[in-house]
Amino acid sequence: MKIGISGASGQLGKSVLSHLTRRGGNHQLVGVSRSPQTVAAPAEGRFGDFDRIDSLVQAYAGLDRLLVIPSAELAPGVRSAQLRAAIDAASQAGVPHVFLMSVAGTHEASVPSLGEAFWVGEQALIRSALQWTILRMNYYAQSMADEIKMSLGGGVLAGLGDERVAYVSRDDIAAAAAGALLGDGHSGAIYNLTGPASITGAERASIVSEIVGKPVSYVTITVDQLRAGLSQAGLPAPVLDAMTDIKTSFVEGKFDIVTGDVARLSGLRSKSLREILAAALA
């Protein structure tokens, strides 16, 4: 079987390829991105640009299964156009089974919501792929670790209210994606790749406090205060908008879902936020 990963040079794509390689089997692996030279052997690197559908049709030729990992592009409307192009290209190339990496809580949404791209991508996939599987990832525990490192000095972690998030390790998402790509019986399934528990802001602060051995509290701030703080830290407007969108979805419950899908697909236990933070903050 020939398995392709589009978005192969990114952190998640590299990790999926690494899990596929480790699991062995008589499969050929293809990594697609605009920098195919970064794809590690034994996978074959192919050039494919989400903004140039012709390049994707060529890159996806001969694949039996394809995982589309969206780019990290934040400009409104760009990622949905890219996902539509990737899914169209997979149809034109005759790929029998397409897997899409999407996001927890995806539902009908329009620009400028970050969720628009995933809604458009999922709908395009369901409409046009011969066989499809959707993998909805929860929020990366590693992204939260990076955020905590930036605010740890003040002993205060902030959020927009009563947030609940089932933080998941990026590597566990990759292991689950590899399991799904290699397995059978996943056509028409929507999986939720989550950590083992939904964590509140106060619980998150308490975990961090135990790890670093000093008091850390959780405070609720307003959207204006969040944006002012991020702006003061020198972050550009698109990042401010994305962070506001993400933090709002934390309190809306979009990421408040816990499943056993990581273990079901990967055969591995899903790591906790505490484990990821202990390693990251050590």
Ligand X SMILES: NC(=O)c1ccc[n+]([C@@H]2O[C@H](COP(=O)([O-])OP(=O)(O)OC[C@H]3O[C@@H](n4cnc5c(N)ncnc54)[C@H](OP(=O)(O)O)[C@@H]3O)[C@@H](O)[C@H]2O)c1
Residue 170 contacts by C-beta under 8 Å, 6 or more apart in sequence? 11, 12, 15, 140, 141, 142
Q: What is the DSSP letter of 6?
A: E
Taking the C-alpha atoms of 187, 193, 198 and 202 in order, what is their torsion angle to the nearest 10 degrees? -150
Nearer CB in complex with ligand X: 64/245:
245
Nearer CB in complex with ligand X: 155/275:
275
Q: Given the rule CB under 6 A, which of 66-74, 209-217, 224-232, 267-275 is the region that contacts ligand X?
A: 66-74
Residue 84 contacts by C-beta under 8 Å, 6 or more apart in sequence? 120, 121, 124
Interhelix angle 141-151/201-212, nearest 10 degrees = 70
Candidates 2, 10, 76, 128: give the one binding ligand X (CB under 6 A).
10
Distance, CA of 193 to CA of 136 (rounded, Å): 6
Candidates 46, 53, 68, 70: give the one binding ligand X (CB under 6 A).
70
Candidates 69, 124, 193, 199: give the one binding ligand X (CB under 6 A).
69
Residue 276 contacts by C-beta under 8 Å, 6 or more apart in sequence? 141, 142, 145, 167, 169
Residues 184-213 that bind ligand X (CB under 6 A): none
Nearer CB in complex with ligand X: 39/208:
39
Count of C-beta atoms within a 10 Å radius of residue 56: 28
Residue whose tokens read 């990832």: 137
Residues 95-134 that bind ligand X (CB under 6 A): 103
Nearer CB in complex with ligand X: 66/103:
103
Distance, CA of 267 to CA of 179 (rounded, Å): 8
CA distances from 105 to 5, 122, 257 (A): 23, 12, 8
Nearer CB in complex with ligand X: 10/155:
10
Candidates 43, 45, 71, 270: give the one binding ligand X (CB under 6 A).
71
The least distance separating ligand X from the CB of residue 13, rounded to whole angstroms, comes to 5
The least distance separating ligand X from the CB of residue 126, rounded to whole angstroms, comes to 19
User: Is residue 60 a contact residue for ligand X (CB under 6 A)?
Assistant: no
Write each residue from 19 to 48 as x if it is in contact with ligand X (CB under 6 A), else as -, in one continuous string.
--------------xxx------------x
Q: What is the DSSP letter of 34?
A: S
Q: Given the rule CB under 6 A, which of 7-15, 204-212, 226-234, 274-282 is the region that contacts ligand X?
A: 7-15
Write each residue from 129 to 158 as x if it is in contact with ligand X (CB under 6 A), else as -, in one continuous string.
--------x-xx--x---------------
Nearer CB in complex with ligand X: 71/266:
71
Which residue's CB comes closest to ligand X? 10
Q: What is the DSSP letter of 120?
A: H
DSSP letters for 193-240: E--SS-EEHHHHHHHHHHHHTS--EEEE--HHHHHHHHHHTT--HHHH
State the residues that interact with ligand X by CB under 6 A: 7-13, 33-35, 48-51, 69-73, 103, 137, 139-140, 143
